[in-house]
Amino acid sequence: MERRESTLQIDAVTRRNLEIDSSISGREDATLIALLDSTVTAMGARALRRQLNRPVNDHEELRARLAILVELVECGRYALLRDALRPIGDVERILARVALRSARPRDLTGLRLALAALPTLRAFLATLSSPRSTAIAAAVSGHDAEVALLQRAIAEEPSAMIRDGDVIAVGYDTELDELRRISTHTDAFLLEL
């Protein structure tokens, strides 16, 4: 949860002059974000952009973040964290689509992969000694029931659109499986009649 008073408010002119996300010359590669962005997820890129445009001014928050960063860099384990984050898709956008009831089948497979990656991420965070990483690890839930449901219900490689079919996994719904059998073996079904 962001509060307006907890961030430094930077007006548009100052942001432009600081060349945070757009340069005066118009070159995208000549910005602070272009220099710093080596994120591996879309959520990370958005978070970096948000943090650079609205920097936090709460000293305790900054110290907690810095403690995690120092630990990751000093022990050289930031690459392990990047690897743990890599399979996680754009969960923010996926959940927005789910909430709006406009999620596509591939969104659900992305959500399944992201939720399945959480135990690895939680285990990694638990190995860090900073209080903030320990708190984050404790707050990360495995969502085991949701992962199991998505693994049972959604096909391994579903179609891009629901209308194309092959979204629900075989074995999840016996009536649907029967209709699929009839659809693919129409001749045999007619002979049985």
- What structural domains and CATH numbers belong to the chain? 1-57 (1.10.1420.10)
* Of the candidates 104, 111, 64, 120, the residue with the CA atom closest to the CA atom of residue 89: 111
Q: What is the mean pLDDT of residues 84-104?
A: 91
CA 79/CA 118 separation, integer angstroms = 17
Instruction: Tell me which H or E stretch contains 72.
Output: helix 59-74
- Kindly report the CA angle at 93 between 136 and 123, in degrees rounded to 5? 25
The alpha carbon of 49 is separated from its chain's Cα centroid by a whole number of angstroms, namely 16
Is 55 within 8 Å of 7 (Cβ atoms)? yes
pLDDT, tens only, 136-185: 888 888 789 999 999 999 999 898 888 887 889 899 988 988 888 888 77
183 burial type by CB count under 10 A (0-12 exposed, 13-18 middle, 19+ buried) = exposed
CA 123/CA 18 separation, integer angstroms = 39
CA 167/CA 153 separation, integer angstroms = 8
Give the pLDDT of residue 26.
Answer: 79
Cβ partners under 8 Å of residue 10, min gap 6: 18, 20, 53, 54, 55
Residue 13 CB neighbour total at 10 angstroms: 8
Sequential DSSP letters for 131-142: HHHHHHHHH---
Give the pLDDT of residue 191.
Answer: 62
Residue 19 in tokens: 């060349």
How much is the mean pLDDT over the chain?
87
- Tell me the whole-structure pTM to 2 decimals: 0.76
Confidence of residue 187 (pLDDT cuts 50, 70, 90): low
CA 76/CA 12 separation, integer angstroms = 37
pLDDT, tens only, 54-83: 999 989 989 999 999 899 988 888 888 888
